[in-house]
Structures are given as structure tokens and as C-alpha cells.
């Protein structure tokens, strides 16, 4: 261990990231689908966002305005897409920094028109349809079509780029060919009402890539918004039962945490129970005396400690607090001491929070 090393350390393999981006974008392109590369999960890290552009992302996208500002300051080419439906209070920045935005409210669209006029700048929008996941989007197709017609005919500075949907993020509704056909039906109604073809029919985010993988995405869906699938490729096979996605790396990210204590202790807490540091009442199993290791990373850094995945065999995550993760290392074949490093694989939750934590060092590796 070098004296220069500091922990916790999040290492990011740029080579594996580029490999995943190339594989996913090429498979989408083969089915006529462009990809907005979502940079939110790695906090708009400029080297990764630049790699997405080089791999052919049609837009760089985030739900956070400040990420788009950071990409512009880094001099990365757009266009830029805002993914979260904007607050009216941030429309000045939306027009200034984003080329596209997702929209689902007429009052916001009308206010967007006023801001575009004030800045003398046109802005493209994708109107969202809620197909059952119950997050953003027009619930009734007739209402969405009317809104599209108003944008097309009455909002001179707001350009209707297309329609889209989101599935799997809140209601855990699976993207299916039937859901995509429903979106295509709405798109065709909009096109008939406005008398022209839409630029974008956006079929969702990483979860919708499953249909590209299975080659079941209906023709006409021509856009996806993908971030997690490129960064991790973990939740896709785990959550969707995909066994043949071995063309993607699941270890783009490596969390390295330093051991600060190793001791044998009871596995069942001693004393009268109350609540833990977060107001919860954890349940414990008495497994006798076990060897345990503490590492210096906690819920303030990763949010959900139990989603950390130790790479070494024989290490089990027991839990932790804001600043500590407690590991059972009874069955670890080696000998851990204070100062040693334990490596973890990540899922989307842990990756997102680690990238946002100012206390976690980030380092690009080959």
C-alpha cells in the first residue's frame, strides 16, 4: 500500500466502461435506436461523459441541472438532455443549459415558452406518457395528444421533439413489447394530429434495454436513456433473469475500504435493546462468537450497506452505521488486520451514493 493512497477509494475502469458503452450503443444502433447517455450515476464525471460521446451517444443526459452545467464547463459537446421534469423555478437554467427536456405539465410548458422568448432561444421537449409505472407523465392519451398539439401550434419557441415513457423506476413495472406498442400508438396519434413525423419515440431507460437484448423491441421505438446499464450491467441480469449478458462488464467500479478493527465478538448484542442510529430495530441471529472486521465506510457514503458485495470469499456484510461497515470474516481464508483493504462490487444504489460522497476518493484506472 502506497503512502499516497487514501480511503475509501472508488476505482473506475475507463476501459471496461468504454467496452460496455460500445456494446450497448452498437446493439441499439443495429435496431435503429439512438441512446441518450445518462451521466447522473457518476456525477457527470467528465472523463466518463466524454467517453460516452466518443462511443456515439446522441445526447448527454442527467436529471440534475448542475451536471449539465459541469459538462458545458468541461467543454463536452452536446446536445444535452434534462431527464427530471423541470421545476418552474429552474426554467431559466433549463433554457440556458439544456437542449432537450422531458415534460409532463402544460403550465410548465407555457412558462417554458415565456423563458425561451426572454432568452430568444428555442428548446426541444419530449412529452411523457405514464404507461403504468405511476411516476411522471400524462395518464390519459387524449390529454397528451392535446398537449402535443398545443406545443406544436401555439408555443413558437418550444419544439415538440417527441414522446416518451419511463418504466421500472417507481412502480417496478416491466418494459414489455406491449408497453412499447402502447407508446407507439400514442406517437402515431400525435403524428396524425400535428401532420409530421416525430424525431424521438423514447422507450425508457436501462430497464428497457432488456428488449434490445432479447431482440423484442418493436420497430419505431428509436430512443432510450441509458446510464446504469453502461456503468454497472449488474441489475439487468440480477433483476431480469438474463443469463446471457456476458458481453458486459459488471466490475467497472471497485470500492476499496480500509480495515480499522478486527476482533472476535458475540454475534448477538448484549444488553437491553432500544433503537439503532437511524431509528430502526434490527433483528439479530445468535451465531456464537465470530470474527468481525470494521471498515471505514458507512451509510453516509453508500446509503444501503447491505447492497455492498465483498469480492473475497468468506466475507459477509452484517450491517453498520453512518461511518462503519461491519463484516463477518469468520470464514475468510486469509488473515485481515487493521490497514488491510477489502474490495466490494456495487449495485446502482451504492454506486450513486459513493459518487456523490465528498469523502470518497475517485480514481480512474485502465
210 with 258, same domain?
no
135 and 169 in contact (C-beta within 8 Å)? yes
User: What is the sign, positive or negative, of the torsion defined by CA atoms of 101, 105, 109, 114?
Assistant: negative
Closest CA to 247 of 217, 213, 208: 213
Catalytic residue among 40, 124, 179, 256: 40
Number of structural domains in the chain? 2
Within 8 A by CB and 6+ apart from 227, the residues are 37, 38, 39, 40, 41, 61, 205, 206
pLDDT tens, residue by residue, 23-60? 999 999 999 999 999 999 999 999 999 999 999 999 99
User: Which three cell numbers mark 109?
Assistant: 410548458
Q: Where are the beta strands (DSSP E) in the chain?
A: 9-13, 34-38, 59-62, 80-82, 100-103, 123-129, 158-165, 200-202, 223-226, 253-266, 289-295, 309-310, 316-320, 325-328, 341-345, 361-365
Q: What is the mean pLDDT of the chain?
A: 95
pLDDT at 71: 97
Q: Is the pLDDT of residue 207 over 50?
A: yes
175 with 47, same domain?
yes
Please state, as a whole number, how many other Cβ atoms lie within 10 Å of the Cβ of residue 25: 22
Domain finish residue from 239, 269, 290: 239
- Residue 65 inside a domain? The answer is yes
41 with 186, same domain?
yes
Mean pLDDT (whole number) for 228-250: 81
- Residue 211 inside a domain? The answer is yes
168 with 291, same domain?
no
- Residue 247 inside a domain? The answer is no
292 with 220, same domain?
no
Domain finish residue from 211, 239, 267: 239
Torsion of CA 263, 316, 227, 170, to 10 degrees: -110
- Residue 10 inside a domain? The answer is no
Torsion of CA 289, 294, 298, 299, to 10 degrees: 0
> What is the domain range of residue 266?
253-365
- Residue 11 inside a domain? The answer is no
210 with 170, same domain?
yes
265 with 227, same domain?
no
pLDDT tens, residue by residue, 110-132? 999 999 999 999 999 999 999 99
Q: Is the pLDDT of residue 243 over 90?
A: no
92 with 226, same domain?
yes
Domain finish residue from 239, 263, 282: 239
200 with 334, same domain?
no
Q: Which residues pair with 10 in a beta bridge?
A: 255, 362
- Residue 60 inside a domain? The answer is yes
pLDDT at 4: 63
pLDDT at 242: 73
Mean pLDDT (whole number) for 344-358: 94
148 with 289, same domain?
no
The CATH number given to whatever domain includes residue 218 is 3.20.20.10
The CATH number given to whatever domain includes residue 354 is 2.40.37.10
**Parallel, antiparallel or unpaired: strands 289-295 and 253-266:** antiparallel
- Residue 353 inside a domain? The answer is yes
- Residue 3 inside a domain? The answer is no
Mark whether 124 is an active-site residue: no
285 with 193, same domain?
no
294 with 356, same domain?
yes
- The pLDDT-based confidence of 238 (bands split at 50, 70, 90) is low
Amino acid at each position: 500500500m502506497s503512502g499516497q493512497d487514501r480511503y475509501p477509494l472508488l476505482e473506475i475502469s475507463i476501459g471496461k466502461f468504454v467496452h460496455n458503452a460500445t456494446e450497448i450503443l452498437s446493439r441499439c444502433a443495429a435496431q435503429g435506436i439512438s441512446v441518450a447517455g445518462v451521466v447522473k450515476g457518476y456525477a457527470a464525471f467528465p472523463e466518463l461523459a466524454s467517453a460516452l460521446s466518443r462511443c456515439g451517444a446522441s445526447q448527454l443526459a442527467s436529471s440534475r441541472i448542475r451536471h449539465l452545467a459541469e459538462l458545458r464547463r468541461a467543454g463536452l459537446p452536446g446536445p444535452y438532455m434534462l431527464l427530471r421534469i423541470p421545476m418552474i423555478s429552474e426554467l431559466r437554467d433549463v433554457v440556458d443549459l439544456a437542449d432537450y427536456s422531458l415534460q409532463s405539465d402544460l403550465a410548465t410548458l407555457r412558462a417554458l415558452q415565456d423563458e425561451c422568448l426572454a432568452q430568444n432561444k428555442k428548446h426541444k421537449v419530449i412529452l411523457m406518457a405514464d404507461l403504468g409505472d405511476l411516476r411522471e407523465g400524462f395518464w390519459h392519451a387524449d390529454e397528451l395528444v392535446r398537449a402535443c398539439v398545443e406545443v406544436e401550434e401555439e408555443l413558437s419557441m418550444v419544439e415538440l421533439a417527441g414522446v416518451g415513457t419511463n418504466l421500472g423506476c417507481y412502480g417496478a413495472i416491466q418494459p414489455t413489447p406491449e408497453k412499447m406498442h402502447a407508446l407507439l400508438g400514442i406517437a402515431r396519434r400525435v403524428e396524425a394530429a400535428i401532420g409530421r413525423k416525430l424525431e424521438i419515440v423514447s422507450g425508457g431507460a436501462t430497464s428497457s434495454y432488456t428488449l434490445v437484448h432479447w431482440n423484442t423491441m418493436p420497430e419505431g421505438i428509436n430512443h432510450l436513456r441509458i446510464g446504469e446499464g453502461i456503468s454497472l450491467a449488474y441489475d439487468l441480469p440480477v433483476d431480469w433473469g438474463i443469463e446471457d449478458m456476458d458481453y458486459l462488464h459488471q466490475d467497472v467500479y471497485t470500492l476499496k475500504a480500509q480495515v480499522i478493527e478486527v476482533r472476535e465478538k458475540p454475534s448477538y448484542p448484549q444488553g437491553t435493546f432500544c433503537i439503532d442510529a437511524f431509528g430502526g430495530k434490527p433483528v439479530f441471529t445468535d451465531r456464537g462468537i465470530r470474527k468481525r472486521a470494521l471498515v471505514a465506510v458507512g451509510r453516509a457514503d453508500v446509503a444501503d450497506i447491505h447492497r455492498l458485495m465483498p469480492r473475497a470469499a468468506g466475507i459477509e456484510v452484517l450491517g453498520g452505521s453512518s461511518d462503519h461497515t461491519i463484516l463477518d470474516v469468520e470464514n475468510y481464508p486469509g488473515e485481515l488486520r487493521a490497514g488491510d483493504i477489502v474490495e466490494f462490487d456495487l449495485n446502482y444504489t451504492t454506486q450513486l451514493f459513493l459518487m456523490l460522497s465528498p469523502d470518497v476518493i475517485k480514481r480512474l484506472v485502465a
